Amino acid sequence: MRGAWLTLLGCLAAAVLLVLLTVPFPVLSGVHPHVDVARDFTSSEIAREKAFHAAGRPWAYGSIVVSLVFAGLLGLTRWGGRLVGGVPGHWTVKALAGTALVLALGQLVTLPLDIRAESVLRRYGLSTQTWAGWTDDRLRGLAVQVALTGIAVLVVLALVRRLPSTWWAAGAVAAVLLTVVGSYVYPVLVEPVFNRFTPMADGPLRTQLLDLAARDHVHVKDVLVADASRRTTSLNAYVSGFGNSRRIVVYDTLVREASPREVELVVAHELGHAKRQDVLVGTLVGALLAAAGVCGLFLVLSSSRLLARVGASGPGDPRVLPLVLFLAALVPLLLAPVSNLVTRHVEARADLHSLELTGDVPTFVSTEQRLARTNLSDLDPNPLVYAFFFTHPSSPQRIAFARAWEEQRR
């Protein structure tokens, strides 16, 4: 118990230290950008995005609440244990099938709310999917979730059964390895499950983006176009992979709707993440938090009262699965205000990189305006919504930041 506590606190301290050493607080010292939504967006644009969020958020937030309540009912009572325990076969079969069953039921209970949320996206022109395509995406997502979760569950239960009193130590190491390997293979194995990627055709835009990366001293293997238009009208781009596998990925919607200069501004932001090794740092922080999570799980499953409550004979009993999955859903949500605060600063730093690389504030502003209008971004979010669900600064904040940077340079 003492070793688990010390490792838990050590991993948390290391994660916090890594964040403090790599993430700037604030991004622009001594500058307080003035946010003025009405300066960059018309009253009709503001009214439209407010109407969109008023129509969609009740269903989206309701889905989150129902999902957590359902997970809690299974994880904190004997119902979940009975569900998993009723699966016939070896404990490995119970673990894998139980994981699939709990996750599938979790999606099933939120299905009516998710359908309503998707309907709102269609009403406002943000979703281009057919219901068949939407269902296919959900099934693929469930399959990926079951596969990744099932691997983690099997590793943990195997360690629990083999090392009853010290499994937390081996589990922490395994969590670190799985996080690092998963981050590396995700672009290769998981991204192609949901999108098709084709090399951007030779031409001025491809040359422009590769020259931009070369000027920024960021090695990229290729420029790919993702077929995002088959499910959304949103505009986006990102840099994916590590080292020799790194590539620029641009949504086909962005290529079609934005000017070449605007595409360059978006990609310059993403190159900022690559330049600062944000994916690598995020992976290391995630690995430390995963190790801490395993130690915390060991402490939770050391409670005989809690095990009896869920009907498990011990921490290696597959009937603890619903409890573990409930905690895996609850803890990240509770930590979201802190993690989002960090990611918003990381995104602001990438904006700064984009501005320094291109020096083009007018195009930066026009690009943010286009993205906000096309994606129907929340222009003035509620503080609670902002804390729990905004991984990026709002579009008006990003525009104000760009203008503050320009003013600081004068």
Concatenate the DSSP letters of all residues of 80-139 into one string.
HHHHHHTS-S-HHHHHHHHHHHHHHHHHHHTHHHHHHHHHHHHHTT-B---HHHHHHHHH
Mean predicted confidence (pLDDT) in 309-330: 95
Q: How many domains does the chain have?
A: 1
The pLDDT of residue 5 is 96
Q: Work out the pLDDT band at 23, boundaries 50, 70, 90.
A: very high
Instruction: Read off φ and ψ for residue 316, nearest 5 degrees.
Output: -90, 0
Is 262 within a domain?
no
The pLDDT of residue 335 is 96
What's the mean per-residue pLDDT of the chain?
A: 93
Is 320 within a domain?
yes
Residue-number span of the structural domain to which 119 is assigned: 2-194+276-409
The pLDDT of residue 186 is 83
Is 256 within a domain?
no
Q: Measured between alpha carbons, how far is 279 from 285 in angstroms, rounded to an integer? A: 10
Is 405 within a domain?
yes
Is 264 within a domain?
no
Mean predicted confidence (pLDDT) in 220-241: 90
Is 57 within a domain?
yes
Is 294 within a domain?
yes
Mean predicted confidence (pLDDT) in 195-212: 92
The pLDDT of residue 409 is 83
Model confidence at 108: pLDDT above 80: yes
pTM attached to this predicted model: 0.91
The pLDDT of residue 29 is 77
Q: Which of 124, 89, 83 is nearest to 101 (CA)?
A: 83
Q: Work out the pLDDT band at 152, boundaries 50, 70, 90.
A: very high
Q: Work out the pLDDT band at 191, boundaries 50, 70, 90.
A: confident
CB-count burial class (<10 Å; 0-12, 13-18, 19+) for 309: middle
Model confidence at 1: pLDDT above 90: no
Is 208 within a domain?
no
Q: Work out the pLDDT band at 378, boundaries 50, 70, 90.
A: very high
